[in-house]
Chain A
Amino acid sequence: MTAAHANSPAALATPRAHLTRRYHLSASHRLHTSAFTDEQNQAAYGKCNNPHGHGHNYIAAVTFAGPVSPTTGMVCNLADLDAFAQINLLNVFDHSNLNTLDAFRDRVPTTENFTLEIARIFSQFPGAQLSHLRVEETGNNSFEYSPQADSYPEPHLAPMKG
């Protein structure tokens, strides 16, 4: 063993970086709202209103921002993030019919709404702060959402005056 592996956390700064992980999931959906007549649904959603549904290979690219830990060199532990995604994203949505799921009981499973739901899920990941989400429905369609930074209090803020 050489001495080249030594890490000296105290000597290291903690710059902020962004880490992005892409998850693949396949699901079916049908775009249809009870607020519209059949004709209005057809006019609004076109072939996506097909009563039998259709499917996509979705890609969710989740970006986390945070200080790079001097002890691990990481924004967040990838194994923890993958385990979180497996339980909360893939096990729930992969190879599912989105219209049948609780998340879309009261809203149309457009990829806009799917993006908001995935953002809600990953905003609960305890290991780092979700800064951005991009969901690709197909290679030609993608949707992006950045949670409000001010909804995630920084742990190192100085005490507020007054």
Chain B
Amino acid sequence: MVLLTRKAEFSSAHYYWNDAWTPLENARVFGKCANRNGHGHNYTLEVTVAGEVDPVTGFVVDLKQLKEILEHEVISVYDHRHLNLEVPEFAKRIPTTENIAIAIWQRLDGKIPNANLHRVRVYEMPDLFADYYGEQQ
């Protein structure tokens, strides 16, 4: 088995807010991330897939095809969008880096031919990232 990682980037706006809480409680827990006007990041996505090397092509997956899947399933939905307001999975989930990693896993799971998702890593910035390895973790 070989692991293969493809990177992609998207730039999005978001804010952190739990409607079950008072504004004061949201501000206490989420700090400046609770600003309802939102703020944004340049996110970096790293998708790692696991599979066997095809004896004919020498590929685990066709990188061009993987790029197109990431573009279609994730980047075209998230890039230059407000995650809370325009991306359906964040209507009821706070778009933290952790939840973005989980949501991207759910978008990609089962859609990559000849390989299994191994890890979704989302960098909110170079010094902060979240990893999701699927439900078994």
Contacts and interface: CB of A to CB of B under 8 A. Distances in A.
Interface of A: 1-2, 4-9, 11-12, 15-24, 63, 65, 68, 71-75, 77-79
Contacts of A20: 128-131
19 contacts: A2-B85, A5-B84, A7-B20, A7-B92, A8-B92, A12-B92, A17-B130, A17-B131, A17-B132, A20-B129, A22-B127, A23-B127, A68-B102, A71-B21, A72-B18, A73-B16, A73-B99, A74-B96, A78-B128
Given A4-B84, A6-B19, A20-B128, A74 B98 contact: yes
Nearest to B128: A21
A19 B31 contact: no
A4 B21 CA distance: 15
Contacts of B94: 7, 72-73
Contacts of A78: 128
Interface of B: 16-21, 29-31, 36, 84-85, 91-99, 101-102, 126-133, 135, 137
Contacts of A4: 84-85, 91
Contacts of A19: 97-98, 128-131
Contacts of A23: 127
Contacts, number: 85
A21 B126 CA distance: 9
Given A16-B137, A17-B131, A79-B31, A68 B19 contact: no
A8 B94 CA distance: 10
A71 B20 contact: yes
A75 B98 contact: yes
A141 B133 CA distance: 27
A80 to B, nearest CB: 10
A9 B133 CA distance: 22
Nearest to B91: A4
Contacts of A7: 18-20, 92-94
A73 B16 CA distance: 9
A71 B18 contact: yes
Given A4-B84, A79-B31, A73 B131 contact: no
Which of A2, A12, A22, A72 has the most chain B CB atoms closer than 10 A to its own CB? A72
